[in-house]
Amino acid sequence: MRFSWILSFYIGRQLAIWLFGTFAALTATVFLLDFIELLRRGTDKEGAYFLVLLYMALLKLPSMACQIMPFAILFGSMLAFSQLTRSNELVVARSVGFSVWQFMMPPIFIALAMGIINITVLNSISSVMLKRFQQLEDYILRNRSDEFLSMQSREFWMREQNEKHHIVIHARNMHYKNNGLFDVVILIFDCENHFQKRIDANKATLFEGKWVLKDVVITVDQSRPRPIDEISFPTNLTMDNFQHLYLTPKTMSLWELQRFIKLLENTGFLAIKYRLYWHAKLASPLLMIDMIMIAAIFSLRLTRNNNILTWAAGGLCSGFLIYFLSDIIFALGMATKIPAYLAAWTPAITTMLVGIAGNLHLEDG
């Protein structure tokens, strides 16, 4: 098995040109279509000026770029491989003893690098910008003020635990802008789950390390309820975490998401959606590599079969099939039919096995 730095550098450079060109073209196309859609939605909306909508489209762009990156890698690598094949450069390389795996290594390293940059840098940027986009979208396009959004009728459930007690907190409504809960019930149990105390409050406001409850009624075992104007109640929930409780996973970076999942699980919230998204992000570099392998299966066979359109259509359909099946598996994960890590990693691992098998057949078949 031979290795050539010169050949690897040449193939890597050619692929990088096609990849970044394709990525830029797809990103520009998606940006233009999204901006046109924002212009349509902003018709007759107060404050929906041209520059404001352009700013909103730019805020959403990094998030959309993260989503289309696997397709950019698939299309770009197909174009690069087909170009190298039609110019007979790969034919010559194979004739002197280079295998398909050797000239696939530079593209694989490039795809891996793009995947790592995607989850470490681009994802962090896109989460902040998408959060701002959603705020502007609610305010300008949906005519929802901050007060309206913060006073949405949402029940609040939380579980806390310390060395002495298990605590369950429930509220009928929450005002997350002012860190407030309304119609609050707090149930306190000992470590053996024996009921000890119930606290009813008209309102609870979160401060650092404590809830301040007003218009309180305390019931201990079978004793008569005891009204109190105001008490404080310790908590591990911080104000920053309270503000994040109902954010979507896309508006949090990978680092924030990991800490937030632990918080949700410790406080009794369902974290399936967030854990699935976190695992899917971790698996995305592997999916980028898969796209290189799938592209090689359909592009490198042009040396043996010159029906270019057929193989190109096959590659494109394979990419969309992967996306479609991934959505189905993710839905099973969201429904807790399968574990979150299995739902997130199965598409990437399965596609890699198919890619390896296809390229082995291409090399030896």
Give Cα 187 to chain centroid, integer Å.
Answer: 35
DSSP character for 337? S
Mean of pLDDT values over 339-363:
88
Angle between helices 50-86 and 123-136 (to 10 degrees): 140
Q: Give yes or no for residue 196 having a pLDDT over 80.
A: yes
Torsions phi, psi of 51, nearest 5?
-70, -35
Instruction: Find the angle CA(144)-CA(174)-CA(196) to the nearest 5 degrees.
Output: 175
Q: Which residue has the tokens 């006073």?
A: 151
Summarised one tens digit per residue, pLDDT across range 262-279 is 877 776 667 888 899 999
Q: Which residue has the tokens 């911080």?
A: 238
Q: Which residue has the tokens 């193989």?
A: 311
Mean of pLDDT values over 195-201:
89
Q: Give yes or no for residue 109 having a pLDDT over 90.
A: yes
* DSSP-derived secondary structure for 67-113: HHHHHHHHHHHHHHHHHHHHTTHHHHHHHTT--TTTTTHHHHHHHHH
Q: 54-58, 208-212, 349-353: lowest mean pLDDT where? A: 208-212
Ramachandran sector of residue 142 (left: φ over 0; alpha: ψ -120 to 50; beta: rest): alpha
Token representation of residue 361: 């057949």
DSSP character for 206? E
Summarised one tens digit per residue, pLDDT across range 125-171 is 999 999 899 888 878 887 755 544 444 456 777 777 777 788 888 88
Q: Which residue has the tokens 């990978």?
A: 254
Residues near 47 by beta carbon (within 8 Å), at least 6 away in sequence: 139, 140
Token representation of residue 255: 């680092």
DSSP character for 224? P
Other CB atoms within 10 Å distance of the CB of residue 357: 12
In terms of Cα–Cα distance, which of 154, 160, 208, 218 is closest to 182? Answer: 154
Three-state DSSP at 219 gives: strand
Question: Is there a contact between 286 and 115 (Cβ–Cβ < 8 Å)?
Answer: yes
The domains of the chain, with CATH numbers, are 5-144+271-364 (no CATH), 155-243 (2.60.450.10)
